């Protein structure tokens, strides 16, 4: 994903939300909002897990190279 400033991401998110709101019922907006929250939480969890796995992998490689 290309680098974006936080303000640009907020503006894009707001524009998308307004477009969805113009064409969706209240129930659909609530459902989509909940779905997007779940997606966001899962992305956070996956990012943390990926970062920890990378740190662990690097530590294991460093440990192996120092044993040789």
Spatial separation of the C-alpha atoms in residues 48 and 54, rounded to whole Å: 10
Spatial separation of the C-alpha atoms in residues 29 and 32, rounded to whole Å: 5
Sign of CA dihedral 27, 29, 30, 34: positive
pLDDT digits (tens, 9 = 90+) for 3-37: 668 889 899 999 999 999 999 999 999 999 999 99
| Total Cβ atoms within 10 A of residue 21 | 13
Residue 68 clears pLDDT 80, i.e. is over it? no
Spatial separation of the C-alpha atoms in residues 15 and 11, rounded to whole Å: 6
Size of the chain in residues: 68
């Amino acid at each position: 994903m290309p680098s974006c400033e936080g303000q640009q991401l907020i503006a894009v998110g707001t524009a998308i939300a307004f477009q969805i709101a113009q064409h969706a019922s209240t129930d659909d907006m609530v459902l989509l909002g909940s779905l997007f929250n779940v997606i966001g939480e899962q992305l956070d969890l996956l990012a943390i897990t990926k970062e920890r796995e990378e740190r662990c992998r690097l530590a294991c490689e460093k440990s192996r190279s120092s044993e040789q």
